[in-house]
């Protein structure tokens, strides 16, 4: 069997239709969108077209969308930009202990700049309680940042409830929706959020481009300087092919949402059923919330085995899985998400993340379960 890619939460293969759109632009368009001649006007038309398309599919106005280099920059821009724009009102920010490092490391830098950060705990399934958010509020709270769906265990947070709470108190609310796009319905017009971060390469779009939704009227101080691109909010020459590819990926993700969800759930169900049949339900533990979850992410611990050995053996069998965030998977550190969930040591040290996407099949899930059985038997001899 050909190699099986089960690390879609890290990055996804580019969809052929996305690649076609990008190729046509890369060989036919090379003007700078800030230039006033016909080549520049043509480039500007591509950028504006991509912006209009994404805004239409996500339910926001085109001027509420900022192109960035990816999800990390989008998170950084939202937090630094919102904090700088509200510094006179207060310096208290609320987030959770299970955010992506693009949020946590940004918060750490804000702490060094004199901000006070509340890192809320989660339960054993990775879920944050709305009551904990409310209890953490202070007179000087200016921003709340909570991710939509967790990139390591797939737990989906109560975004709407938190957003309404923030809106009632006049507090800005940012959501990292990098993993949610293409797996959950998103209509920005109906969501109580001020900022929402996205990236293209999680939805079969190109790497190196993302976006930030900024509600009209929400403060945002720019982090990059040197040009008036993106209405002066994010300097830098725009990526024509990247923007157009992102727009096509969003179109495919939104229009095909139901099919994507159903496909991911079928794969998840098949893998779990095959694991039950081959190694027994008592031989593994599902990490994450089993009611509120992203269907494409399944985090499983195999007590008695170790994560690094499991990953190495899976790789030798042609199966690409992960231990957690791609930004930290090169290290041997235990996942901060699983630690925040206060899981027992035997689960912390044996966790594997299987994340599925377009191109994966039920037959592959059956093969993966078979190989897991073989590996576990070999390791436990």
Q: Is 50 exposed, middle or buried (0-12, 13-18, 19+ CB in 10 A)?
A: buried
Give the pair of three-digit tokens for residue 381: 């001899």
- Contact indicator for 363, 145 with CB cutoff of 8 Å: no
**Does the active-site annotation cover 60?**
no
Q: Strand 297-301: give its sheet, edge to edge.
A: 285-287, 297-301, 351-355
Torsions phi, psi of 300, nearest 5? -130, 135
Q: Is 372 exposed, middle or buried (0-12, 13-18, 19+ CB in 10 A)?
A: buried
* Cα–Cα dist 36/355, whole Å: 45
* Cα–Cα dist 293/118, whole Å: 24
DSSP 94: E
For 117-134, letters b (16+ CB in 10 Å) and e give bbebebeebbbbebeebe
- How would you classify the pairing of strands 297-301 and 116-120? unpaired
DSSP reduced 3-state for 171: coil
* Cα–Cα dist 175/145, whole Å: 6
**Which residue, chain included where needed, has tokens 């157009």?**
244
Catalytic position from the list 61, 87, 97, 327: 327
DSSP 200: S
Q: Where are the beta strands (DSSP E) in the chain?
A: 4-5, 65-68, 92-96, 116-120, 141-145, 172-176, 195-199, 210-214, 285-287, 297-301, 319-320, 351-355
* Cα–Cα dist 307/305, whole Å: 7
DSSP reduced 3-state for 115: coil
Q: Which residues are catalytic?
A: 327
């Amino acid at each position: 069997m050909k190699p099986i890619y089960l690390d879609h939460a890290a990055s996804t293969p580019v969809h052929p239709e996305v690649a076609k759109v990008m190729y046509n632009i890369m060989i036919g368009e090379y003007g700078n969108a800030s230039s006033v001649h016909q080549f520049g006007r043509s480039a500007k038309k591509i950028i504006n077209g991509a912006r209009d398309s994404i805004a239409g599919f996500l339910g926001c106005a085109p001027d509420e969308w900022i192109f960035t280099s990816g999800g990390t920059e989008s998170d950084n821009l939202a937090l630094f930009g919102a904090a700088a724009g509200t510094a006179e009102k207060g310096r208290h920010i609320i987030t959770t202990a299970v955010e992506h490092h693009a949020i946590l490391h940004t918060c750490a830098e804000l702490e060094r700049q004199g901000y006070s950060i509340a890192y809320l705990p989660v339960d054993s399934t990775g879920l944050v309680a709305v009551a904990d958010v409310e209890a953490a509020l202070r007179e000087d709270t200016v921003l709340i940042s909570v991710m939509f769906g967790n990139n390591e265990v797939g737990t989906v947070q109560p975004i709407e409830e938190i957003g309404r709470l923030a809106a009632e108190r006049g507090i800005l609310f940012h959501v990292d929706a990098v993993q949610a796009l293409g797996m959950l319905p998103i209509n920005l017009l109906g969501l109580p959020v001020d900022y929402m971060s996205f990236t293209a390469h999680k939805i079969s779009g190109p790497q190196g481009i993302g976006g930030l939704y900024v509600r009209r009227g929400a403060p945002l101080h720019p982090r990059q300087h040197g040009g008036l691109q993106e209405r002066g909010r994010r300097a830098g020459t725009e990526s024509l092919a990247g923007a157009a590819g992102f727009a096509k990926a969003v179109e495919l993700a939104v229009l095909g949402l139901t099919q994507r969800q159903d496909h991911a759930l079928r794969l998840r169900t098949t893998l779990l059923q095959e694991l039950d049949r081959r190694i027994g339900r008592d031989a593994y533990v599902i990490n994450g919330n089993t009611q509120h979850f992203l269907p494409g992410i399944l985090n499983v611990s195999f007590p008695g085995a170790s994560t690094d050995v499991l990953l190495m053996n899976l790789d030798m069998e042609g199966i690409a899985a992960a231990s957690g965030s791609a930004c930290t998977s090169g290290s041997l550190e235990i996942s901060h998400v699983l630690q925040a969930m206060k899981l027992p040591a035997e689960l912390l040290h044996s966790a594997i993340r299987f994340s599925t996407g377009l191109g994966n099949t039920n037959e592959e899930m059956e093969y993966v379960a078979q190989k897991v059985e073989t590996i576990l038997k070999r390791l436990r001899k």
